[in-house]
Amino acid sequence: MSRFLIVGLGNIGEEYKHTRHNIGFDIVDHLSQKLDVSFSSDRLADVAEAKYKGRQLTLIKPTTYMNLSGKAVLYWKNYFKLPVENILVVVDELAFPLGQFKLHPKGSNGGHNGLKSIEESLQTTQYPRLRFGIGNNFPKGKQVEYVLGKWKDEEWKIVQEKLPLCSDAILCFVFEGLQNAMNKYNSLK
C-alpha cells in the first residue's frame, strides 16, 4: 500500500489559530474531517492516519513552530522511509491572491521560514507543495503582523469556500498523481 505524508504548516498555540500563516493547519484539519480521522500528539507533530482508495495517508501538523518544520518532516519521512515525491507540504503564499491555490512539484522557499527549514532538513527543493494564497494587502513593513494576523470575516468566508477544493486536490494528488492533480486544480480560480 502506497503511503503519503501530508504536511500542513503552521504554528501551535491558540494565538495562532486561524491566522493567515496557519492555513496549512486549517487545510489539513479540513482534510482530516473529510476522512473522518482525528489528530493525536506524537513525535514532533500532531498526527492523523487515514486510508483512501488503497492509499495510506499520514497527516501531520508539526508542533515545532514554523521555523523548525523541517525537523518534523524529516523525522516522519525517515520513519516511513518515504521518497520526497510522496510528501505534500501545504503552505501559505503571499504572492497569490486570497484563495488562489496551486500544486507545484518543487520550488524555492520564497523567503518562507517553514519551507527554508524543510529545504535544509531534506537537502532539496524538489518536493511537492500546495501553495494557498493569503494575498499581500498590508502596508510596507507590516508583513509579519499581516501573516500572523487573523482572517477578516470576509476573507475567512473565502477561505472556507476553498477548503473543500484543497482537500479534493490533495486526495487527487494521492490517488491520481501530482501531474493529474495540477492539471485539474491549478487552473481553478
CA atoms within 13 A on the CB side of 144: 2
The one catalytic residue in 18, 21, 30, 112 is 21
Among 41, 15, 11, residue whose Cα is nearest residue 26:
11
Catalytic residue at 18? no
For 36, the 3-state DSSP assignment is: coil
Cα(184)–Cα(176) distance, integer angstroms: 10
Any idea what the Cα angle at residue 175 is, between residues 171 and 181, rounded to 5°? 65
Of the candidates 99, 71, 123, the residue with the CA atom closest to the CA atom of residue 188: 99
The secondary structure of 134-149 as a DSSP string is ------TT-HHHHHTS
Half-sphere exposure of residue 142: CA atoms within 13 angstroms, side-chain side: 7
The three cell numbers of residue 39 are 489528530
Best CA proximity match to 28, nearest among 63, 66, 58, 67: 58
Q: Which residues are catalytic?
A: 21
